[in-house]
Amino acid sequence: MTHITSYASAIGMHKIRRDVGRLVWGYFKHSKKLGVTCLCDVEGGKDLIPVTIWEGHNMTLLEFAKKMNEKIDRAK
């Protein structure tokens, strides 16, 4: 379920990409890359680790899920 929700967030961010960015010295600067961060549990929920997938809107759902699982395994 987490993979589907994160993937949907990546596609949603791509749809509103002109509104994604940060304020730098009082001016809005667009982000060049879009990333979605998901918090995943370690050791049964004792700790949460952030996993960021960059440019997730360019992937299929299966590619997105595989990449997220790889990053979670490396973080554990």
pLDDT above 70: percentage of residues in the chain: 99
| pLDDT tens digits along 31-49 | 899 999 998 887 777 788 8
Give whole-number Cα distances, 29 to 8, 58, 62, 74, in Å. Answer: 24, 22, 32, 32
According to DSSP H, which parts of 1-76 are helical?
A: 2-15, 61-75
Mean pLDDT of 17-28: 92
Average pLDDT in the chain: 90
Distance of CA 32 to the CA centre of its chain: 14
Q: Where are the domains of the chain?
A: 2-75
* CB-CB contact of 60 with 72 (8 Å): no
For residue 45, give the 3-state DSSP assignment. Answer: coil
pLDDT in the model for residue 52: 92
